[in-house]
Structure 1
Amino acid sequence: MTTEPAEFHERSPHLFRLMAFATGLATLILGILSAYWLARDILPLFGRLLRDAPIVVTPYLAFMLIAMCTVTPIVVVTSLHACWRAQKFDPSPQSRMFRFQRNSYKLTVWSMIFISPALAVLVTLGLWAKGYTPCQKLLISGSAWRVYWVNDARYCFKPDFYNSDEQPCKHVGNRTLCTEGGRQ
């Protein structure tokens, strides 16, 4: 037996609009940051792989940011609709917006389950095919999802510090040597 409250309080349209706006804004910010991190972490990976860099850093967790980039447009659109009309986004099944919503969510699920893992596996296979091997000595403490790959055993060493590009550096005498021509 359920009991109903004595008074039924209707949802405030202003609060609903505020929450929809906050959700859309937060999702837009996360989507932009995800795209930035993908461009900063994943795209240079392919450049280093193509030019046979001595050390290639593979941030495996960053591949999952693809899903955030695919879900951002639909969440922003639905949030704007909710903010503008003060009602939930519920398009009819025959409309283009319904197909856009369905396809966006399908693409997000596909990117989480298939695209991101497949891309990470392909990058790993590409590294192995080019003669790279993982180097445990180069790991930064707490970076379990980031793997350093080297194509020459001489580059697998315990670094003294890392430069701003996260490339390992070593003090040799009175000189500081960094891989990839990084900043000192």
Structure 2
Amino acid sequence: MICAGAGLFSIYWLIAHVLPIYGKLWRQASAIEVPYMAFGLLMAPPVMLACTVASAFAICTGKRFAPTSKSGLAKFQTCMLKTSVYSLIVVAPLVAIITTVALNTLDYTICPQLRKSGSAWQTYWVSHPGFCFIPDSYTENKWPCKNADGKKLCINMDE
């Protein structure tokens, strides 16, 4: 159950935090948050699927999951582990690099000032230098705000 939960959590994180990056790029949002460490979660679904199958086998049979080397389960397990390692070593860095190149190509610049304290793995990219500032506060939606001339100005991170 833990394997299935971890796999579902990683899929949720990929859907909720990585996929929106490309929607924002498509819409040319004013600011885009890129959690680079989340790309590492691309390796989790295959290994968690193998772990879930092994756990289900052990629960149903009461035996340790140790398939013979030529069985379908052994091939499945090996395939999922290889896929997971390749995802971590090749796919995750490649996706991160392609994302960074796309951001640079679309004239986004990195903005370390928008980064929240303690979140070194989250990087913000902005489409205009005026959007790069040290926030005074954040909205409920975690949008950065700056107080200027008695007014609270916020960047809508969704547009």
Shorter-chain TM-score range: over 0.9
Q: Structure 2 vs 1, CA of residues 181 and 108 (structure 1 numbering), >3 Å: closer, same or farther?
A: closer
Q: Tell me, what secondary structure is at the counterpart of 1:72?
A: helix
Partners of 2:56 and 2:94 lie apart in 1 by: 33
Q: Tell me, what secondary structure is at the counterpart of 2:47?
A: helix
Q: Structure 2 vs 1, CA of residues 181 and 44 (structure 1 numbering), >3 Å: closer, same or farther?
A: closer
Q: Structure 2 vs 1, CA of residues 107 and 131 (structure 1 numbering), >3 Å: closer, same or farther?
A: same
Structure 1 regions of 5+ residues with no counterpart? Answer: 1-24
Counterpart of 1:16?
none
**Equivalent in 27, 36, 39 of residue 3 of structure 2:** 27
Q: Structure 2 vs 1, CA of residues 94 and 141 (structure 1 numbering), >3 Å: closer, same or farther?
A: same
Q: What's the CA shift for 1:181?
A: 6.6
Counterpart of 2:146?
170
What TM-score does the superposition give when structure 2 sets the normalisation length? 0.92
Partners of 1:139 and 1:170 lie apart in 2 by: 14
Structure (1 or 2) with the larger CA radius of gyration: 1
Q: Does 1:180 align with 2:138?
A: no
Following superposition, which runs of at least 4 residues in structure 1 exceed 3 angstroms of deviation? 172-175
- Give 1:10-21 correspondences, 5 Å limit: none
What TM-score does the superposition give when structure 1 sets the normalisation length? 0.80
Count of residues paired in the alignment: 158
Q: Deviations over 1:54-93 (max 9, x none)?
A: 1011000111111112211110000111112122112222
Counterpart of 2:93?
117
Structure 2 regions of 5+ residues with no counterpart? Answer: none
Counterpart of 1:67?
43
Partners of 1:36 and 1:146 lie apart in 2 by: 18
Partners of 2:112 and 2:157 lie apart in 1 by: 21
Root-mean-square deviation over aligned CA pairs? 1.5
- Segment drifting more, 94-103 vs 145-154: 94-103
